[in-house]
Structure 1
């Protein structure tokens, strides 16, 4: 048989492009029936070519190279050949292949049937999919996603400098495939066996000498939604997902309180709002019936991913190795600097600890509010923004 070659990446990448209107077909020497067709436009497509018992040969298209890897094509070719050997109709095999779920299909089912009903952090799952998974995996059939595919994604995120994020994405993928197995949508979890990155506990927070540059950079941020989101994150110490989905109906400007109906800990939380936080919210208060404090254009209706704005702010300030979550730690650190007890800090940040749960239950909001106000004042003083009125100057609007 002509054009019999060993399908390797180097060999396939080097294959010549046929003349206009023509197509070359190559046969894998390792997997019977597996072909690669190359068109004059450079498109390379895997297919299975098998003769049916008492019938004519049939060709079943598998997928395009390099979206489908050689290993995945070989595995599919063996599976289809086995189906045909058992007497299955190749047309039905092909229809079954086309009907197979893509990862986007699976993730959509996972969100609607598991994540949204059962996880308080479902919005983070959605954001991770859009940022890290939709492009490399979205259109792939589940049978083509193997451990190598997942390991490549984990490695890429890690090499970009986001080792903890890579672990979170890996955990999400494992959860998706684990759920899919329980509901009969797939048979194996390709994440199993991939090692997580070693994570060191972070102790990063904004230092006194960084605060003036940080606030100056905030004043220069052109996107008011991003600017105010960062300020409220810093002044409340609330978790990222809670601030992103902050709703007007949960805020009482009169009582200076923000009631979070449900947090990551599975409990509600009442956040004491400092005068500076109140001023920012008053300036943002819309005249219409807006739902979210930080609206967004996506399906969720609120801001989902402030990463680009955060990067701009840090670059202008000349500050490195600071994450949005570190703003939460910053408030707690400044509370400690201004004399707050660990119980007060834990109550204000809604930390869940078996050792201090009983203490938290006895605390009312007044000492927490005093601690937050004192810490906020100390931060603003260190930043050179000593008066509450100056927060409006940072905001740059009303």
Structure 2
């Protein structure tokens, strides 16, 4: 009986036997795992086990379509079935009936519940499926017991070259699928995604600085979605919650916005500063009969994707900040500045190309004017940062932003909205004053700009 340690190189190196004969070799790692090689050169994995007076050869799959790691994993599973008293046919049938990764992912997305008992959101389902499509093609059609730790590590390594966060998310999704399969008794092996080292991710701390706010607020005022971005800034609420804001959840007299369910699985009362209330009163007159503050034409009924509008805002803000810098250096006359401002409004792409090239020629550091690294979520962080700048405690900031942690939950629960309101309004005033906006009437003027900007 020939034995060797199965590797791809070793198995491919075995010569086929003479015509009419078969060669059998056994793995030294899993002794009951064998490969049969025909004279035609086909190579097939088997589990070889004595069953009573006879020897059972349970076919696993052909090589190299089935890898050595997959064959070992499946062999161990079948041997486990044997040990529990199953017959060879039943053991093989159990393997055939095992779901693939794609099938198990679909089942999980259809039936898994969140901690509060609610179903997974459509947005989360799409996110999981998109991540699977991008990074998990190699294991999509593999049986769960065929998927190896080395394959999951390879997925993580490859994805890490493009995005550390995406790589970690891919591993987390794979792990979730296996945990779900184990919980529902579709899988009994070891989770191949467990204990894979995550990438070191630096926590993002970007927020709008005092020098940036005048340009940012001016550009927001010119946007068709100015109300949305201004409310995101003034409330610090998550983008998804602002997008789905409904009129019935707003008490404008008490200046409270009730969010029934947030990302962390809890409801939230958001305190509304006076400027936010002024913007909402004005918007109420423009939304017609829609239940949503920001109606949309899609199946959700509300605004879904504001990224293009945000990109346009950042482009305008960055260019105006660059123009101010060029003017301070004496590189733009008053008349040239006026023409440049007009071009930013009428032909922003051409203006960006022109003035960025001037900045490059003058070796101006983009950090002095470029604001395109700001994300929509940074508006939420901006409110919290300005609360900290104006003296709010971490507990107050956590309460206003609905942060959740084991250490601070009890502290948040004891807080009422009065100190939170004071903190939010103090931070709001500081931000608006830094941006050149000081009164609710100024907010209305800011929002009115979009109606006159071409």
Please indicate the TM-score interval, normalised by the length of the shorter structure. 0.5 to 0.7
Question: 1:73 deviation in Å?
Answer: 4.6
Paired with 2:278 and 2:158, the residues of 1 have a C-alpha distance of 40
| Cα gap change, 1:362 to 1:210, in 2 (>3 Å) | closer
Cα 1:174–1:49 change in 2 (3 A) is closer
| TM-score when normalising by structure 2 | 0.58
Gaps of 5+ in 2: 1-5, 13-23, 28-32, 319-369
How many aligned residue pairs are there? 365
* Alignment pair present for 1:341 and 2:396: no
Task: Decide which moves more: 146-155 or 373-382.
Answer: 373-382
- Give the TM-score normalised by the residue count of structure 1: 0.65
Give distance in 2, aligned partners of 1:309 and 1:70.
51
Gaps in structure 1 of 5+ consecutive residues: 1-5, 13-26, 37-44
After TM superposition, list the pairs within 5 Å mapping 1:119-134 onto structure 2: 122-123=120-121, 125-134=124-133
**In structure 2, do the counterparts of structure 1 residues 361 and 78 end up closer, same or farther at CA, with 3 Å as the change threshold?**
closer
Question: Is residue 25–residue 36 contact of structure 2 (8 Å, CA) maintained in 1?
Answer: yes
For each residue in 1:296-328, what CA deviation from the matched residue of structure 2 results, as whole angstroms up to 9, or x when unmatched? 55xx77777777876776677543654443321
2:356 aligned residue:
none
3-state DSSP of counterpart to 1:278 = helix
Q: How does 1:1-398 map to 2 (within 5 A)?
A: 8=8, 32-33=34-35, 48=45, 65=65, 71-73=69-71, 75-76=73-74, 88=87, 96-116=94-114, 118=116, 122-123=120-121, 125-135=124-134, 136=136, 137-163=139-165, 166-187=167-188, 188-211=190-213, 214=216, 230-243=229-242, 245-252=244-251, 256-264=255-263, 266-273=265-272, 274-275=276-277, 278=280, 282=284, 285=287, 287-288=289-290, 296=298, 317=318, 318-319=370-371, 321-337=373-389, 339=390, 341-342=392-393, 344-352=396-404, 353=408, 356-357=411-412, 360-361=415-416, 363=418, 366-367=421-422, 370-371=425-426, 373-375=428-430, 377-378=432-433, 380-381=435-436, 387-393=443-449
Q: Is the 8 A contact 1:259 1:269 kept in 2?
A: yes
Contact 1:284 1:293 in 2 (8 A): no
- Structure 1 residue 257: deviation in Å? 3.4
The CA deviation at 1:161 is: 3.7
CA contact under 8 A between 1:377 and 1:386: conserved in structure 2? no
Q: 1:359 to 1:88 in 2, by over 3 A?
A: closer
Mapped partners of 2:88, 2:187: distance in 1: 22
Asked whether the equivalents of residues 72 and 144 of structure 1 are also in contact (C-alpha less than 8 Å), the reply is: yes
Cα gap change, 1:264 to 1:50, in 2 (>3 Å):
closer
Tell me the distance in 2 between the aligned counterparts of 1:57 and 1:266: 52
Structure-2 residue corresponding to 1:42: none
